[in-house]
Structure 1
Amino acid sequence: MRIGAAQARPAWLNPTAGTKTVVQWSSRAADAGVELPAFPEAFLSG
């Protein structure tokens, strides 16, 4: 299993933008062969 750590800036108090970021980064990670992208705790705040 390939695991990747996402080092992305969260969109504080904007769950819609945060979700969009997670989807985009997860898609990019999948294209790179990552099976489990890991995001920081409380990344989807709001």
Structure 2
Amino acid sequence: MLWAELFKFILFIVFIALTLQVFYKNRTWCTTLCPMGKIYKGIIKYKI
């Protein structure tokens, strides 16, 4: 049962991210919600 609830939550988060992408800016998921996007953003910030 926990896996089903987790799966529903993940689908909800992906839906919200895609909706934000349409209204806010391109690649909203990659730049604001995805942990890897945050890591890459930090690396680029300190690399330059």
TM-score by length of 1: 0.45
> Relative contact order (C-alpha < 8 Å, sep 6+): which is higher?
1
Greater fraction helix: 2
Greater fraction strand: 1
TM-score by length of 2: 0.43
